[in-house]
Amino acid sequence: MFSLFKKDPIKQLEKKYLQIMEEARDIQRSGDLKAYARKIEESEAIQKQIDALYEAKQGK
């Protein structure tokens, strides 16, 4: 019953992933490729977390 009020961690991570990718796009457009690479690494780490949560969810 109370699980209706829990936020889905996958959705939260996907929202954060999209936000970081937008920041990376803006950084890339400004020409700072080192900062862009750091943002991409950060987004890849979040994507791995999302994938792990999907796999755990399907394993249930």
Distances (CA, A) of 40 to 6, 18, 55: 29, 11, 22
- Confidence (pLDDT) at 7: 82
Indicate yes or no: pTM above 0.85: no
Q: How many CB atoms lie within 10 A of CB 18?
A: 12
* Residues of the chain predicted below pLDDT 70: 1-5, 60
For the chain, what are the domain ranges? 2-59
Distances (CA, A) of 19 to 1, 2, 30, 59: 31, 29, 17, 28
- Confidence (pLDDT) at 2: 61
Q: What is the chain's alpha carbon radius of gyration, rounded to the nearest angstrom?
A: 15
Distance CA(40)–CA(48), nearest Å, equals 12
